[in-house]
Amino acid sequence: MHFEIPGDAAVEVAVRRAVGSWGNAPTRLLQVLRETQEQLGFLPPQALERIAGEVGVSIATARGVAAFYSFLYTEPQGAYRLLFSDNVTDRMHGSAVRMREMGERLWVEPGKISEDGLVSLGRTSSIGLCDHAPALLVNGLPVPDVDARRASEICDLILARVPLAEWPRELFVVEDFVRRRDAMLSDAARPGEAIRAAIERGEASGTGPQATLEEIKRARLLGRGGAGFTTGVKWESCSRQQVTPRVVVCNADEGEPGTFKDRLLLRQHADLVFEGMTVAAYGIGATQGFVYLRGEYRYMLESLRETLERRRRAGLLGTAICGRDGFDFDVEIHVGAGSYVCGEASALVESLEGKRGIPRNRPPRLAEKGYLGRPTVVNNVESYCAAALILLRGADWFCSRGTERSSGTKLLSVSGDCERPGVYEYPFGVSVAQVLEDAGARNTIAAQVGGPSGVCLGQDEFTRRIGFEDIETGGAFMVFDASRDMFEVARHFSHFFAHESCGFCTPCRVGTSLLRNLMDRIRDGKGSQHDLVAIEELGGLLRGASHCGLGESASRPLLDTLQRFRPAYERRLESPAVEPAFDLDGALARARRMTGRDDEGAHIGEAP
């Protein structure tokens, strides 16, 4: 078993099949590329040409999209593609050792393909299995808890060339650890109940769908993805647009390293997710819905489609939902292809349109002009679950939990140095200390809440509380005990951001690389106090001049750890008196020329 260069006939069959599944509109480009690759193993030049012709885009566009997404390959890959999850928690649990062991047994270097084409070995950003670290994907299928025994078993199977379909199924079993249930995870809502409740609420009040919007507003539901925008305001703004059709999008691109609670919701509460989307569609008058499922969760696609099909048969999707004439709405699932920035709502919509996932300029907001220029609401998986329960149980019930500014509950994905990693649901307002205690964390020195783009908390801050008035979070909660080196944690995150920068804007593209290089330089014992100052200056530049949240938050883990764990940096410095190795502002000069920018924001130390 090894990869084969596909002939024209094979390419023709694969492209036809992919176009047959997805259609030939330009918006289908990414899905057609992805599905063609699933059949061929990679995207050879003739496939790109053929696909470009089929969907009516230029070859350059097809190549550009294929190059943008890290899960699309234009070069041959191994017949077995091993991708180790590369979150810091995977490293803490031995992913680097496992990877080296497997590389040695399989005769393949990390980042390369074995000479016989049998196997390729690489890393990818967090795959949403931090509660099962270290984890990896084999041809897109998740293998959790890769200890030495399991790694050896995988090597045996590969060396014996056992087809993946014949591998022991238990290798791929992912257990969801639900450690604490509250209002959402303990609710036993049945499919259709929330939709009927929304319709009845509208009929009882005589205000129709407006009653749905009012209930969501009264519940003070804030977006669970981390940004905390008021969901009711967003939905109402969308509903007021004159353009139709309107669109409901579920952001299931759970890419923030350290988070995996949407994995649980999508696998065990998919009906509630779709119920929330349908309630949103009723409220804003949408007819079209999408779930944007991250590429790392491709393995959930079939079961999610089955749920959608079951709901269609039950009259909960399609035309005349719940027997109500004119209430037409359906949902389609698009699969991402490995891009962290696509978690940003406007980048996600670009990706849904089949393009590279580059964040848009705003305004206009997506609620005014989103998918194909149509009014669009984009909400997180957890937000839709909350919305469904609000319509079913009422805003008062929802607000009876949480705090004044943060109503309801929050799902946290807890991982790292603790005895009980998993998903914990708490009313907002829970303290960090309480979460640590419940998770069995000992000798904790830091909690990274909200992923790399969130906040790093030291011991003296564990009394702080989860909520929009204090610690906002999309749900990642990584724990570090006294055996960890917080400089190395921050250095890992600097590599993550440099890798995930989409490259669209200069401050982020250059700044994240400079930050990574500075951290490596300090790690190598060649840093100085000037480098610490440079990190702070670059942080200011990135915050002030980046186009989207990725660039704005890329320096945050470094600045947080510099503030709280400065000795971890300083003990690595070669000499406090060493002069800077390079002129940071000068390093940006070429990038400024390329982009035609020379304003204050494009200079170090002069960001607003």
Q: Which is nearer to ligand SF4, 202 or 343 (CB)?
A: 343
**By C-beta, is 274 or 504 nearer to ligand SF4?**
504
- How far apart CA 3 and CA 113 sit, in angstroms, is 10
Rounded-to-integer distance, Cα 509 and Cα 588, Å: 10
- Alpha-carbon gap, residue 196 to 198, rounded angstroms: 5
Q: Closest distance between ligand SF4 and the C-beta of residue 607, in Å?
A: 13
Contacts of 11 (CB under 8 A, 6+ apart): 36, 40, 44, 46, 47, 50
- Whether the CB-CB separation of 273 and 266 falls below 8 Å is answered with yes
Which of residues 341 and 439 has its CB atom nearest to ligand SF4 in the complex? 341
Q: How far is the CB of 304 from ligand SF4 (least distance, A)?
A: 28
CB of 508 to ligand SF4, least distance (A): 3
Binding flag, residue 195, ligand SF4 (CB under 6 A): no
Residues 337-356: x where in contact with ligand SF4 by CB under 6 A, - otherwise, as a string: ----x---------------
- In the complex, the smallest distance separating the C-beta of residue 509 from ligand SF4, rounded to whole angstroms, is 5
**Residue span binding ligand SF4 (CB under 6 A) among the ranges 5-13, 226-234, 541-549, 563-571:** 541-549
Strands in 112-113's sheet, in edge-to-edge order, are 112-113, 119-124, 80-85, 136-138, 141-143
CA proximity to 375, closest of 248, 224, 211, 229: 248
Interacting residue with ligand SF4 among 291, 548, 602, 607 (CB under 6 A): 548
Q: How far is the CB of 534 from ligand SF4 (least distance, A)?
A: 19
Minimum distance from CB of 318 to ligand SF4 (Å)? 37
Q: In what order do the strands lie in the sheet with 286-293?
A: 330-335, 286-293, 246-252, 376-380
Do the Cβ atoms of 268 and 309 come closer than 8 Å?
Answer: no
Residue (266 or 602) nearer to ligand SF4, CB: 602
- Please work out the total of residues on this chain that contact ligand SF4, with binding judged by CB under 6 A: 14
Q: Which is nearer to ligand SF4, 449 or 502 (CB)?
A: 502
The binder of ligand SF4 chosen from 393, 410, 492, 547 (CB under 6 A): 547
Give every CB contact of residue 378 below 8 A, 6+ residues apart in sequence. 249, 250, 251, 345, 348, 349, 366, 370
Q: Binding pattern to ligand SF4, positions 484-513, x when CB under 6 A?
A: -----------------xxxxx--xx----
Q: Give the nearest distance from C-beta 500 to ligand SF4 in angstroms.
A: 7
The distance of closest approach from Cβ of residue 364 to ligand SF4 in the complex, given in angstroms and rounded to an integer, is 17
Residues 6+ apart with CB under 8 A from 3: 41, 42, 76, 77, 78, 79, 113, 117
CB of 353 to ligand SF4, least distance (A): 17
Q: Which stretch binds ligand SF4 (CB under 6 A): 395-403, 540-548, 562-570, 574-582?
A: 540-548
- The binder of ligand SF4 chosen from 241, 546, 555, 561 (CB under 6 A): 546
CB of 344 to ligand SF4, least distance (A): 7
Q: Are strands 178-180 and 141-143 parallel, antiparallel or unpaired?
A: unpaired
Least distance between ligand SF4 and beta carbon 511 (Å): 9
Closer CB to ligand SF4, residue 292 or residue 384?
A: 292
- In sequence order, the 6+-apart residues with CB closer than 8 A to the CB of 355 are 29, 30, 65
Q: Compare residues 308 and 545 and give the one whose CB is closer to ligand SF4.
A: 545
Contacts of 8 (CB under 8 A, 6+ apart): 46
**Nearest residue to 221 via CA among 211, 208, 234, 210:** 234
The torsion region of residue 561 among left (phi > 0), alpha (psi -120 to 50) and beta comes to alpha
* Contact flags string 358-397 toward ligand SF4, x per CB under 6 A: -x--------------------------------------
**CA atoms within 13 Å, Cβ hemisphere of 171:** 20
Q: Report in angstroms how near the CB of residue 168 gets to ligand SF4 at its nearest.
A: 40
The window from 17-25, 167-175, 194-202, 544-552 that contacts ligand SF4 (CB under 6 A) reads 544-552
* Cβ distance to ligand SF4 smaller for residue 80 or 292: 292
The Cα–Cα gap between 348 and 333 comes to: 13
Question: Residues 402-421: x/- map of binding to ligand SF4 (CB under 6 A)?
Answer: --------------------
**CB of residue 346 to ligand SF4, shortest distance in Å:** 10
Q: Which is nearer to ligand SF4, 42 or 504 (CB)?
A: 504
**31 vs 501, beta carbon nearer ligand SF4:** 501
Task: Give how far Cα 294 sits from Cα of 26, 222, 487, 512, Å.
Answer: 20, 22, 30, 23
Kindly state whether residue 551 participates in binding ligand SF4, applying the rule CB under 6 A: yes
Task: Specify whether the CB–CB gap between 252 and 233 falls below 8 A.
Answer: no
Q: Which is nearer to ligand SF4, 81 or 547 (CB)?
A: 547
For residues 458-484, one letter each, b for 16 or more C-beta atoms within 10 angstroms of the residue's C-beta and e for the rest, the string is: beebbebbbbbebbbbbbbbbbbeeeb
Angle at 154 between CA 151 and CA 156, to 5 degrees: 110
Picking from 266, 265, 275, 269, the residue whose alpha carbon sits closest to that of residue 314 is 275
Which is it for strands 444-449 and 476-481: parallel, antiparallel or unpaired?
antiparallel
Pairing of strands 80-85, 136-138: antiparallel
Q: For ligand SF4, give the closer residue by CB, 196 or 597.
A: 597
* CB of 527 vs ligand SF4, minimal distance in Å: 25
Report the residue from 30, 471, 532, 550 that binds ligand SF4 according to the rule CB under 6 A: 550
**Minimal CA–CA distance to 261: which of 171, 386, 376, 367?**
386
In this structure, what token pair is assigned to residue 45? 């030049």
Question: Which stretches of the chain bind ligand SF4, using CB under 6 A?
Answer: 341, 359, 501-505, 508-509, 546-548, 550-551
